[in-house]
Amino acid sequence: MSKNKISPAAEQWPAFLRTLGLPESWQQFLDAETIRVEQFRDGDTLVVRAELPGIDPERDVDVTIADGMLRIHAERTQRRTPEPSTGTDTLHARSEFRYGAFTRVLALPAGTADADVTATYTDGILEVRVPTRPDDDRSRKVAVTRS
């Protein structure tokens, strides 16, 4: 299993931009991330685990498969908290949580059984299981006959 890692120079880019004195309200754009995933095979099943803490899976998560691609889309909305003294809703004075829409699109291997895909959400982790055919896509010799 190979892991794709961002180059060290790319990891330093947001830190460099912070030194430019940009307004704090721009911070969310510097820290923007896609959905982080783990991907592995469990026998003849491709398993994709996506980190989605604090999400209501029935309301805020959409998993689709089309054209050989798995698309995970989630949305986290900022919750308002009632002010105890006035009873009115207020936003937090400071929040470092990420809100908004998050999407991750992954290419699926050939031979996936789209109709049998399942998705479960437990403890902030979305697990998508995609059945595949056994590795029958290996190269093989084809006999050539004279006509």
Closest CA to 27 of 17, 35, 36: 17
What is the residue range of 123's domain? Answer: 33-131
Q: Which residues make Cβ contacts (< 8 Å) with residue 65, sequence separation at least 6?
A: 71, 108, 112, 114, 117, 130
Mean pLDDT on 88-100: 72
State pTM to two decimals: 0.64
For the segment 102-146, what is each residue's pLDDT rounded down to a tens digit? 899 999 988 888 889 999 999 999 999 999 887 555 677 888 988
- pLDDT score of 4 more than 80: no
- CB 49, CB 126: distance < 8 Å: yes
The answer to the question of residue 1 being in a domain is no
The answer to the question of residue 122 being in a domain is yes
For the segment 26-45, what is each residue's pLDDT rounded down to a tens digit? 655 554 467 999 999 999 99
pLDDT at site 49: 98
The 61-66 sheet, strands edge to edge? 61-66, 69-76, 100-107
The answer to the question of residue 104 being in a domain is yes
The answer to the question of residue 19 being in a domain is no
The answer to the question of residue 138 being in a domain is no
Closest CA to 117 of 106, 104, 128, 105: 128
CATH no. for residue 121? 2.60.40.790
The answer to the question of residue 114 being in a domain is yes
The answer to the question of residue 26 being in a domain is no
Q: For tokens 């029958």, what's the residue?
A: 136
